[in-house]
């Protein structure tokens, strides 16, 4: 997924019916969805925005509206989230990204590192590799397997939970009737 490749902000949209490069618009944020159409796999993907991300982008949009009003600048009606105050599209953000990294003290941080952090945090919060594969847009599970080392601590926690479950039932398992497989013994 290279929606930021070369600092270009135009690789994502919320318009599935078009293949043209359309930037993120406010209407997408209100639904909390984002569609990626410039991906390595050449497949359109729709994802939910995290609630805090959605809120931050809406607040940014409102800030831009306030700045337009304050500076008496007319918007061209584009409703773009990332744009100049007059509404024209921003072509790149490399300079801003370098400035943010310097201010934050992360000068060696690459934008793609955020993608890896997202994958790692998904796994550490309880998702499985298949969830990560789907959410990040990997074609097959072998691409996502690089994060598998993070699942071992989760597996240990699950085994400990199972052990507590067994202990709380004095080692007696009661059939639930929910099994729908081969029950012949």
- Residue 4: pLDDT band (50, 70, 90) is very low
pLDDT of residue 107: 93
Judged against a pLDDT cut of 80, whether residue 22 lies above it is answered with no
Number of neighbours of residue 119 by Cβ within 10 angstroms: 22
Cβ–Cβ < 8 Å for 12, 36: yes
Q: Nearest-CA neighbor of 92 among 111, 68, 76?
A: 111
Average pLDDT score over residue span 59-74: 92
- Residue 80: pLDDT band (50, 70, 90) is confident
**Per the confidence metrics, is the pTM higher than 0.85?**
no
What are the sequence ranges of the domains in the chain?
A: 5-108, 110-170
What is the rounded CA–CA span in Å between residue 108 and residue 102?
A: 9
Kindly compute the dihedral angle of the four CA atoms of residues 40, 45, 46, 49, in this order, to the nearest 10 degrees.
-20
What is the share, in percent, of the chain residues with pLDDT greater than 90?
14
Number of neighbours of residue 144 by Cβ within 10 angstroms: 21
Q: Nearest-CA neighbor of 49 among 62, 59, 66, 35?
A: 35
What is the share, in percent, of the chain residues with pLDDT greater than 70?
74
């Amino acid at each position: 997924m290279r929606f930021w490749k070369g600092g270009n902000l135009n690789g994502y949209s919320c318009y599935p019916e078009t293949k043209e490069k359309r930037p993120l618009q406010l209407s997408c944020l209100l639904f909390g969805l984002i569609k990626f159409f410039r991906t390595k796999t050449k497949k359109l993907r729709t994802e939910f925005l995290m609630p805090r991300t959605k809120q931050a982008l809406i607040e940014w949009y409102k800030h831009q509206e306030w700045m337009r009003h304050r500076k008496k600048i007319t918007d061209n009606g584009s409703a773009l989230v990332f744009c100049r105050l007059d509404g024209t599209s921003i072509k790149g953000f490399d300079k801003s990204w370098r400035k943010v990294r310097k201010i934050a003290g992360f000068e060696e941080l690459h934008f793609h590192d955020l993608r890896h952090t997202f994958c790692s945090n998904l796994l550490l919060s309880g998702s499985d590799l298949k969830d990560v594969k789907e959410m990040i847009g990997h074609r097959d599970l072998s691409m996502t397997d690089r994060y598998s080392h993070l699942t071992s601590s989760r597996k240990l926690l699950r085994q400990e939970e199972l052990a507590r479950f067994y202990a709380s039932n004095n080692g007696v398992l009661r059939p639930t009737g929910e099994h729908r497989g081969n029950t012949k013994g």
